[in-house]
Amino acid sequence: MSTQKKDNTTPASGSVVRRGLLTPQSSYVEDELAQDNASTSLKRKNSFRDLDSDQVHTRSLSKRSRLEEITAALQKPLKPQPESSQARTSSLNRTASYSRLPRTDPSTHLVWLDLETTDAGIPYQDIKILEIAVRITDKDFTPLDAGVSFLVHWAGKATFGALETIPPVVIAMHRKSGLQHDYDHTPTPERKSLEHVERLVCDYVKSHRIYSGAIMAGRGIGFDRNMIRYHMPKFDKIFHHQIFDITTLWHLISRKYERQRRFKDSVQHRAMDDVSGAIREAKFYADLVFKTPSEVTWPSVDGPSTEREVMLVVQSISVSHQPFSPPSTKALSLLRSSLSAPYPPGQAEKKSLDFNLDVVEGPPTSDQMRTILSYLPSKAISPSHAFLSAHYATPTGSERPEGVSAIANLAQNNPSALKWPIVVDWHGGQAAIGDIEGVKAILETLRKKRDGELKEDEVDQPKGWFT
């Protein structure tokens, strides 16, 4: 893995607020910085070497005080502001530029997302994205900034009416929300294609130093995730395969507290409005229903520190195994040997590897197959090429399944059609399908980590299920 190039212009977290930061209080920050720049532009021409030690100390304290004041302003909770349709239209079509920020921890922060589309009940390849909104919050559901929202215009579809396969109920919904009006009245030079919008949302998330392992969050986010996976593959690579769906919280709360209705106006069918509504709903549940950390005593996890360390550190490798397959039998033997004997083999001074081995005699599920595909070195490989074997029982021609769901169904009825074994390191985000060399590569990564040969960012960068 390549190491991120150090940006010498990027300050330590909390130490500098730079002009152009897109935040709820950005106008306040920019005005204050502009005044500060105007009043000190001449002073900055004076070298510190012309000042005595007391003057240098005084100026340093003054500067530090201003930075602390601005940082405190940025940390105030966001207050939702009414926004006119005209103002929203202007913001949707404005090309944003982002400051360089300290790296955001994707293990604690959430990337909230919502899509407005032409339909939701047909195959993803036939659905068009009309609008996308993205916003990032910390672990307390406090937004880091105002987020971004963009309309997506399609070639040859100058008006909303020119879009195909939109059911009447969806047309009425987008007309009521104002999306149809904004789509039709966006000036031609300001219209953005799907590829352009994908670059913009990638730039936004990466401006917060989130490059991979991000958790996608939202309401009913499973649909949005599948749309992003199909239509925005570059953006999809930024995200972990796990998601945070507040609908799960709603189903829990509605049953425990016998609630029948959710928040009024929580769904407006405009991307940014729905993102903001989802964030408010999550924060409401967290504040009202869940206990504070000091009130919770966790079972077993609060045992000896060594037990906790094992729970958090030990990786898990699963093997979808078939005894009739020689490669599968060989791979399983190799994995078990690495746990019980020195690894690499023949080096008696080395210890064995340490990981949890889960052996399943059967194929993975369709959802697991999708995750496994994302772990393969070649992201462009098709599901059929990755999973299907050359066995004579494997369907060919028009009967050959291409989709993951069809392949999973075939594997249940015809195991010989699948390549064996399927070995997955869920923690490290690596997979090997019918490939002994791939299994050795997974073990070599574990060996390097054990021996301290991996760089820190390669070890800690979130990739798989247990990060």
* Sheet-wide strand order for 110-117: 148-151, 129-137, 110-117, 214-218, 239-245
Which of 116, 299, 134 lies closest to 206 in space, CA to CA? 134
**Using one digit for the tens of pLDDT, what is the confidence trace for 179-222?**
888 888 889 899 999 999 999 999 999 999 888 889 999 999 99
Report whether pLDDT(83) > 70. Answer: no
Cβ count within 10 A of residue 365: 14
In degrees and rounded to multiples of 5, residue 117 shows phi and psi of: -135, 175
**Using one digit for the tens of pLDDT, what is the confidence trace for 99-122?**
444 445 656 899 999 999 988 888
Q: Give Cα separations from 82 to 123, 178, 292 (angstroms).
A: 36, 15, 32
What is the per-residue pLDDT for 17?
35
Choice between 94 and 411, residue whose per-residue pLDDT is larger: 411
β partners of residue 146 = none
Report whether pLDDT(176) > 50. Answer: yes
Rounded distance between C-alpha atoms, residue 29 and residue 20, angstroms: 9
The enclosing H or E element of 307 equals: helix 305-313
Residue 175, both tokens: 């007309």
Rounded distance between C-alpha atoms, residue 201 and residue 115, angstroms: 12
Which ranges constitute the DSSP H helices of 93-214?
168-177, 179-185, 194-206
What is the per-residue pLDDT for 62?
54
The segment with the largest mean pLDDT, out of 27-41, 186-200, 266-280, is 186-200
What is the maximum span of the chain, computed from C-alpha positions, in angstroms? 86
Residue with structure tokens 């559901």? 141
Contact (CB, 8 A) for 197 and 204: no
Measured on CA atoms in the order 372, 377, 383, 387, is the torsion positive or negative?
A: negative
Rounded distance between C-alpha atoms, residue 25 and residue 11, angstroms: 20
pLDDT above 70 covers a percentage of the chain that reads 69
| pLDDT band of 299, cuts 50, 70, 90 | low
Rounded distance between C-alpha atoms, residue 291 and residue 293, angstroms: 6
| pLDDT band of 73, cuts 50, 70, 90 | low
* Sheet-wide strand order for 315-320: 355-360, 315-320, 422-425, 430-433
Would you give the DSSP letter of residue 380?
A: T
Choice between 32 and 167, residue whose per-residue pLDDT is larger: 167
What is the per-residue pLDDT for 271?
87
What is the per-residue pLDDT for 366?
87
191 backbone φψ class: left, alpha, beta (φ>0; ψ -120 to 50):
beta
What is the per-residue pLDDT for 303?
45
What is the per-residue pLDDT for 337?
94
What is the per-residue pLDDT for 185?
87
Residue 303, both tokens: 């045992």
Cβ count within 10 A of residue 436: 16
Residue 356, both tokens: 């949890």
Residue 14, both tokens: 């909390």
